[in-house]
Each structure stands twice: as structure tokens, then as C-alpha cells.
Amino acid sequence: MTCLKVHPMPNRPDVKDYIRTIVDFPHEGIMFRDVTTLFADPRGFRMAIDQMLHPFAGQPIDKVVGLEARGFILGGAIAHQLTVGFVPIRKKGKLPGTTISQEYKLEYGEAIVELHDDAIQPGERVLVVDDLLATGGTAEAGIKLIERLGGEIVGTAFIVDLPELGGRKKLEAMGMDVHVLCEFEGA
């Protein structure tokens, strides 16, 4: 009789435990927080979606906005759970219809994000989501686009915050409710 040796799955009680760190990616000195391992695990992914939704339970939300690109994965799942529409904010030139644009600063240079000009109606209550909050530049640009269309931001939700880079403070200074699932030290 042959016995199979069974290795139990590692216990992963926290969302942070599902996120791997890749050293020196995409550049030397960067500690890349890779959420694809979280997305690939059904329990971890559900845990993240549930925890991102929890602070906004019972609040009326009309749309979920996801920031390019991993915010699309999260935003679609959250919009599905809430039975509301999903709206992507994309890099310049990626949306096919008439758009509005917002420039923002990167560590080295500038970038532009866009939103369809009819994606948010005045007075709609919007939840903004993304995987990572670093400097807050992309989120700030997205919030400005939503507000230009008359949307009201209910809050923002991220899986990872890198507090040393100041994104949370930037968004809170704008009056945003910022919810994060975990923090990592270092860039």
C-alpha cells in the first residue's frame, strides 16, 4: 500500500500574507508588492474584496471606479458585489469615446489619466479602488476627474499602502475617506 504524503496549505489569516514581494522590480532598489498572488487564490481574493467593501456597507454607492490597471480587477468584483456599474480610469489614449483628462506627477516626469465624459453623472456616489497607494498621484488625478463630472466620492479603498510615500496623507488632505487592508514599509 502506497501512502501519499500530504502537505497542508500554509495558514494565511491576513490579506498581507497572500502578497509576495519581488526585489528590484521594475528597477533596482524597488520592493514590488505583487498582488497577483492574492488574486490567484480564491480565498485570498474573496477576503480582499469583502474587506474592501466592509467600511462602506450600508452606504449608497452608484458606481465603482477602478484605477488602471489592477484597480479594474478589484473594481469589477466590488461593483458586482454591490450590483452597481463599474467605470475605468485609464491611461491617456486607451478609452475609445470622448474623454476628459487629468495630468499628474510621477516620481520622474508626468502622466495623464482619462475618464469618459459621460461615465459619471452629477450627484452619483462613487467608490474609488486600486491595489496600491504609494504617492497618491494616480488616485488624486482620478478623484479630480470624477469631481469635474459632478460625482461625489464616498471613499477610497486600496489593498496596500506604502505610508513612507505619503499617498494616504495626500488623499486625506483632500478630504477623502481612505481605507487600506495592509501596509508595507519601504518603497
User: Which of the residues are catalytic?
Assistant: 70, 107
Name which of 148, 183, 186 is nearest 165 in CA terms: 186
Residues 135 and 107: beta-carbon distance below 8 Å = yes
What does the DSSP assignment read for the chain?
-PPPPPPPPPP--SGGGG-EEEET-SSTT-EEEETHHHHHSHHHHHHHHHHHHGGGTTS---EEEEETTHHHHHHHHHHHHHT-EEEEEEETT--SS-EEEEEEEETTEEEEEEEETTSS-TT-EEEEEEEEESSSHHHHHHHHHHHHTT-EEEEEEEEEE-GGG-HHHHHHHTT--EEEEEE-S--
Query: Which value, in Å, is the radius of gyration of the alpha carbons in the chain?
Result: 18
